[in-house]
């Protein structure tokens, strides 16, 4: 392996693309302390804040996705794409990377396209069970595709595709040992069931409305709630803080939140599904309908179909949630089966395996 290793990572738009990229960068840095690492993201998205917080440099491209309806942003898309391709070529020329890694999101398309046109090895990390259009287009020229789900193999060249799993935080590997510490951290009663409610860092309006509508039932069943409302909704729901209900804007100690939970209500982003597989607790998915190509429903279905989780789409919640969810809460046997089955999907060494593939690409 060359001493002055130079790597570009591109991914963003959502935490589901950013945090895997940062995990991969951290693993590269751990193995190669002298490596030069640069991120490329979309100039107005959250990666411009999160990546520097993680200690890495980032360049921004003027790029965004295509909306489903006619908007000014859509009309500008061809100009944004040309601008981003030109800047990507400039970044590649100036930085001279040995390898380029794309974890999805708007910016990875032009950046990997520019790298491929210069013959620079590239690797795609596909988090979802159903790939987005950008990664489908890039797959033909990529040197390697590291995926999380067997289902994606039908979309990508088989000889290039390896199932590695998604990078996840390593502190989740020992949450079973943290149960007492977790309950103490949140001030919870060990003799009462705990439900953890997750809607992402910004929050999920529909999940928050669902919890609010069922608060009396939760209280009647003596169920404790760790309710992460998200920063968009915290002010609206903090009034419900009480003995059994804890509302949180954000959960910094996710390992303790997972450790305290008996059952989890969650969105189904790819990174979240990978984390929940390692956590190995029963999960009730409520996929977001507002993501490209209905990725979250497809991610959740890949788990549900092997009896490793339960799922309801948003338009079924009012009719079915109370019956199905509280039936799950009443059945220790069902909880045990779901927890054991989802744990079978866990791939805890994903980050290391992805970086192994990066090193093979560079050495070829």
Q: Which residues belong to the annotated binding site for UDP-N-acetyl-alpha-D-glucosamine?
A: 14-16, 128, 169, 201, 296
Nearest Cα to 275, choosing from 101, 136, 78, 127?
127
Residues facing residue 194 across a β-bridge: 224
- Residues annotated in the binding site, as ranges? 14-16, 128, 169, 201, 296
Are the beta carbons of 149 and 164 closer than 8 angstroms?
no
Determine the 3-state secondary structure of 285 from DSSP: strand
Q: In what side-by-side order are the strands of the sheet with 57-61?
A: 57-61, 36-42, 6-11, 99-104, 122-126, 144-147, 161-163
Determine the 3-state secondary structure of 261 from DSSP: coil
Report DSSP state, residue 8. E
State residue 173 phi and psi, 5-degree precision. -70, -20
Residues facing residue 227 across a β-bridge: 197, 247
Q: In what side-by-side order are the strands of the sheet with 263-266?
A: 245-248, 224-228, 194-198, 263-266, 283-285, 310-311
Could you tell me if residue 145 is left (phi over 0), alpha (psi between -120 and 50 degrees) or otherwise beta? Answer: beta
Are the beta carbons of 67 and 75 closer than 8 angstroms?
no
């Amino acid at each position: 392996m060359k001493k002055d290793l130079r790597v570009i990572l591109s991914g963003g738009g959502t935490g589901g693309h950013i945090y895997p990229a940062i995990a991969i960068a951290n693993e590269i840095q751990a193995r190669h302390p002298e490596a030069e690492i640069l991120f490329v993201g979309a100039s107005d998205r959250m990666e411009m804040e999160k990546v520097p917080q993680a200690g890495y440099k980032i360049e921004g491209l003027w790029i965004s996705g295509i909306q489903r309806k006619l908007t000014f942003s859509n009309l500008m898309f061809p100009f944004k794409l040309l601008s981003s391709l030109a800047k990507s070529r400039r970044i590649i020329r100036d930085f001279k990377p040995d390898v380029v890694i794309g974890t999805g999101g708007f910016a990875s398309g032009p950046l990997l396209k520019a790298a491929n046109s210069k013959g620079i090895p590239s690797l795609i990390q596909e988090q979802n069970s159903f790939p987005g259009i950008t990664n489908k287009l890039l797959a033909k020229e990529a040197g390697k595709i590291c995926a999380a789900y067997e289902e994606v193999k039908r979309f990508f060249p088989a000889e290039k595709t390896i199932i590695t799993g998604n990078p996840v935080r390593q502190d989740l590997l020992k949450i079973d040992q943290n149960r007492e510490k977790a309950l103490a951290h949140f001030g919870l009663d060990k003799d009462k069931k705990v439900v953890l409610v997750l809607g992402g860092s910004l929050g999920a309006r529909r999940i928050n409305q669902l919890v609010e509508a069922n608060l009396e039932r939760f209280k009647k069943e003596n169920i404790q709630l760790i309710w992460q409302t998200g920063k968009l909704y915290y002010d609206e729901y903090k009034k419900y803080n009480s003995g059994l209900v804890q509302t949180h804007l954000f959960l910094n100690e996710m390992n303790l939140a997972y450790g305290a939970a008996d059952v989890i209500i969650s969105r189904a982003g790819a990174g979240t599904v990978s984390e929940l597989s390692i956590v190995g607790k029963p999960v009730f998915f409520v996929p977001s309908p507002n993501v490209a190509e209905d990725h979250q429903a497809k991610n959740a279905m890949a788990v549900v179909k092997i009896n490793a989780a339960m799922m309801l789409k948003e338009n079924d919640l009012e009719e079915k949630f109370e019956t199905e969810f509280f039936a799950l809460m009443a059945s220790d046997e069902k909880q045990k089966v779901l927890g054991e089955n989802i744990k079978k999907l866990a791939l805890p060494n994903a980050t290391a395996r992805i970086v192994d593939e990066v090193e093979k690409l560079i050495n070829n």
